[in-house]
Chains A and B, each alone.
Chain A
Amino acid sequence: MIEAQGLTKDYGPKRAVDDLTFTVKPGVVTGFLGPNGSGKSTTMRLALGLDRPTAGDVTVNGKHYRDHAAPLHEAGALLEARSVHTGRSAYNHLLALAQTHGISRKRVDELVDLVGLHDVARKRAGQFSLGMGQRLGIGAALLGDPATLLLDEPSKGLDPEGIHWIRNLLRSLATEGRTVFVSSHLMSEMALTADHVIVIGRGKLIADTSVEDLVRMASGSAVRVRSPQAGALSELVAGDGVIVTSPQPGMLEIRGTSAEKIGETAAAHGIVLHELTGVQASLEEAFMELTRGDVEYKAGEEIAA
């Protein structure tokens, strides 16, 4: 369980996290979404006590993280930034972390095997690929059998097999009743893994909802219509909150009304329809819609802060 209350963090004049209030519940995978630079990593660092909030508060399993007697048993974390000494072997890295909590070498061995680093555990971590580094970070996060996991972009640098493995891992962790908080800037990735999503942009909370609701909320559903009399139909249904766009001749995308109403209107006016389909916006589109204007840098132009 992670609870943030009015969480705010300034770095100099820049506000990285702006009055965030949310709760991450156990038993489900909660996605943490936002464009790059929107404050996801900072929020995780604040939760772990690495940085101090400028205002507000965040607790992990009911306490400030630093007040726990066995912190690694409360929370496991994979940060986006490198967090391993490049000169030390994977095994010794995990062993040093384990020893702070009196965790045995047997447990270290188990985790090395679990994350698939058995063959390279004695190699220096500086020689690891990005994917191997991620596996090591996940091993460190799981070392203390934590009730809560904070994973910042865990699939970064992993091959497809590794991404598949992460997905299963996250689901299993949530099924076991743990709190799983996973950040990503890729909505499609979260669509396959998360049950619930918290979306932020420029440090502010944009949405805190289930994955299905997010799609509905962001752009509503559209109805796609193909008709030889598209122009006439468009004039009949448009207006009063109904928005009609025409992606190509003879085709309309209509928002703000239902397929039933469009069908009835068409029938009443004797308009021939070749297609009448409800279309769900993809999660990706919903995400783009929500964070539009909150992206710090767009290709080619800088958005003034």
Chain B
Amino acid sequence: MSSTAQSVSIPRLTNYGRVTQLRVARSEWTKLHSLRSTRWSLVVAVVLTIGLPCLFASILSSRWGHLSPGERADHARHPLEVATAGVNLSQLAIAVLGVLVITGEYSTGMIRSTFIAVPKRLPVLWAKTGVYALVVAALMVPSVLVGYFASQAILNRHHILQVSFSDHGVARAVFGAALFLVLVGVFALAIGALVRNTAGGIATFAAIFFVIPPLMNILPSNWNNAISQYLPSNAGRSVFALTHDAHSLRPLPGILLFAGYCAVALAVAAVLLVRRDT
């Protein structure tokens, strides 16, 4: 730090421009990949999405001979559950990072620098959402594909629980799992923007996704059957279920409903983002 010049001259800047949505997106991409927490969360999500199906496929293969016919029939009814087993855990890593993308700025004060550079604010929310959704998609589409084919290859050696990618609904379910994770990321980011606090954001997401659904079992079963399918988590999950009973939404309405929840959460977040003091 040797800067004891008598007169400090600031080099003039000739190449600059107005703030555009694309430029803000580039900035958000820099912010996202330059943090260690991002890299770790995404590595965890990839490892879980690929690793768990392989692990479960190995366990099932070695234990298959010891299972009762009833248990085998249960597994055979839901043959894709092995391939999408990782989604249940990786959604948590994706959600935590989604919340952090925005609450990390509030907890460190970075949000003030961000809003001084982009005082209209909304381009920041759109850029964060778009960049994060693209990153999750870019990582999770290959991950679910690898998880599916690797687990099928392991099961294939023992000729159990075979499904073909060309079978009805299989490709939709596998790609649907990746789409579900993208929307989980968007939903969590919107919650982060609403709550503006890391612990609060993660707790809110966990309540909506992991606490409220089992609580529904306390209700009378006809209420539970009527309501549960419309919860964000259950609606979203229908897109990667291979079979659907009378009390679950079809894949398309299910994922559209979940996307609708994401849109509403983002819209409320947008309104508050512009109104609130920082």
Complex Cα distance, B112 from A135, in Å, reads 17
The stretch that binds A, out of B7-15, B53-61, B148-156, is B7-15
Contacts of B277 in A (CB 8 A): 45, 50-52
* A110: contacting residue among B8, B11, B118, CB under 8 A: B11
B23 near A116 with CB under 8 A, answer no
B5 near A85 with CB under 8 A, answer no
The stretch that binds A, out of B102-110, B202-210, B252-260, is B102-110
Complex Cα distance, B145 from A186, in Å, reads 63
Contacts of A99 in B (CB 8 A): 23, 26-27, 30
B5 near A69 with CB under 8 A, answer no
B1 near A48 with CB under 8 A, answer no
A69 near B19 with CB under 8 A, answer yes
Known: A69-B19, A100-B23, A107-B13. A88 touches B7 (CB 8 A): no
Contacts of A65 in B (CB 8 A): 119
Looking at the assembled complex, report how far the CB atom of A53 sits from the nearest CB atom of chain B, in whole angstroms. 10
B8 near A85 with CB under 8 A, answer no
Q: How many residues of chain B have a CB within 8 Å of chain A? A: 47
B35 near A85 with CB under 8 A, answer yes
Contacts of A278 in B (CB 8 A): none
The stretch that binds B, out of A22-30, A162-170, A190-198, is A162-170
List CB contacts (< 8 Å) of B1-34 with chain A.
Answer: 1-13, 15-20, 23-24, 26-28, 30-31, 34
B18 near A172 with CB under 8 A, answer no
Contacts of A45 in B (CB 8 A): 277-278
B115 near A49 with CB under 8 A, answer yes
Known: A52-B277, A96-B30, A165-B8. A71 touches B119 (CB 8 A): yes
* A49: contacting residue among B3, B13, B30, B119, CB under 8 A: B119
B17 near A173 with CB under 8 A, answer no
Contacts of A73 in B (CB 8 A): 13, 16
* B112: contacting residue among A66, A75, A83, CB under 8 A: A83
Complex Cα distance, B1 from A115, in Å, reads 8
Q: Mark B197-238, 1 if CB is under 8 A from A, else 0.
A: 000000000000000000000000000000000000000000
B27 near A97 with CB under 8 A, answer yes
A104 near B278 with CB under 8 A, answer no
Contacts of B89 in A (CB 8 A): none
A103 near B15 with CB under 8 A, answer yes
List CB contacts (< 8 Å) of B104-159 with chain A.
Answer: 104-105, 108-110, 112-113, 115-121
Contacts of B278 in A (CB 8 A): 45, 50-51
* A84: contacting residue among B23, B27, B108, CB under 8 A: B108
Query: Which residue of chain A is the closest to B111 with respect to CB atoms?
Result: A83
Contacts of B26 in A (CB 8 A): 99
Query: Which residue of chain B is the closest to A145 with respect to CB atoms?
Result: B13
Known: A51-B278, A71-B116. A168 touches B5 (CB 8 A): yes
A84 near B13 with CB under 8 A, answer no
A92 near B30 with CB under 8 A, answer yes
Complex Cα distance, B6 from A171, in Å, reads 10
Contacts of B66 in A (CB 8 A): none
Complex Cα distance, B17 from A52, in Å, reads 26
Looking at the assembled complex, report how far the CB atom of A172 sits from the nearest CB atom of chain B, in whole angstroms. 5
Query: Which residue of chain B is the closest to A178 with respect to CB atoms?
Result: B10
A70 near B2 with CB under 8 A, answer no
- Is A81 interfacial (CB-CB < 8 Å)? yes
Looking at the assembled complex, report how far the CB atom of B238 sits from the nearest CB atom of chain A, in whole angstroms. 37
- Is B63 interfacial (CB-CB < 8 Å)? no
Contacts of B168 in A (CB 8 A): none
B3 near A115 with CB under 8 A, answer yes
Complex Cα distance, B105 from A107, in Å, reads 24
Contacts of B108 in A (CB 8 A): 82, 84-87
B4 near A50 with CB under 8 A, answer no
Query: Which residue of chain A is the closest to B9 with respect to CB atoms?
Result: A172
Complex Cα distance, B117 from A83, in Å, reads 12
Known: A65-B119, A69-B18, A102-B16. A142 touches B10 (CB 8 A): yes
Looking at the assembled complex, report how far the CB atom of B110 sits from the nearest CB atom of chain A, in whole angstroms. 4
List CB contacts (< 8 Å) of A57-104 with chain B.
Answer: 65-66, 68-73, 75, 77, 79, 81-89, 92-93, 95-97, 99-104
- Is A140 interfacial (CB-CB < 8 Å)? yes
Contacts of A87 in B (CB 8 A): 35-37, 104, 108
- Is A34 interfacial (CB-CB < 8 Å)? no
- Is A275 interfacial (CB-CB < 8 Å)? no
Looking at the assembled complex, report how far the CB atom of B275 sits from the nearest CB atom of chain A, in whole angstroms. 8
Query: Which residue of chain B is the closest to A69 with respect to CB atoms?
Result: B18
A83-B112, A100-B118 given; 13 more Cβ-contact pairs under 8 Å: A72-B116, A84-B109, A84-B110, A96-B31, A99-B30, A100-B27, A101-B17, A101-B18, A107-B13, A142-B10, A161-B1, A162-B1, A164-B4
**B residues near A, CB below 8 A?**
1-13, 15-20, 23-24, 26-28, 30-31, 34-37, 104-105, 108-110, 112-113, 115-121, 275, 277-278
8 closest Cβ pairs, A-B complex:
A145-B13, A66-B119, A92-B34, A69-B18, A116-B1, A82-B109, A99-B27, A85-B110
What are 11 residue pairs bridging A and B, where the CB atoms are less than 8 Å apart in the complex? A45-B278, A49-B115, A66-B119, A85-B31, A85-B104, A100-B118, A101-B17, A145-B12, A162-B1, A168-B7, A168-B8
